[in-house]
Amino acid sequence: MARTKWNDLTDQQKAAIIAAAAVDGGLRLWAGRDLAARDRHEVNGPKWLWAAGLSTINSLGVLPALYLLLGRRRRAADAAAS
């Protein structure tokens, strides 16, 4: 199968790729900043492993979303507010 070139894609396909990349970049930025602001005891699992995964694995937003949903422990201030 021949590789598809960027110029061979339709405008809709290009827009979908750009939108997916923007969502992934935004999630990575959000997850990375959140991870950097937390102490290691506020993270489920090794903090260094989350950082390595978020910075190297291309997951189209799946890994940052997993971190934001499952990788964080509730902070004491967050737990007291609910």
Percent of the chain at pLDDT > 90 equals 57
Asked if pLDDT for residue 80 goes beyond 60, the answer is no
Model pLDDT for residues 9-39, shown as the tens digit of each residue: 999 999 999 999 999 899 999 999 999 999 9
Q: Give the span between the Cα atoms of 77 and 59, in whole angstroms.
A: 31
How far from each other are the two terminal CA atoms of the chain, in whole angstroms?
54
Q: Detail the DSSP E strand segments found in 7-76.
A: none
| pTM of the complete model | 0.75
Other C-beta atoms closer than 10 Å to the C-beta of 53 total: 17
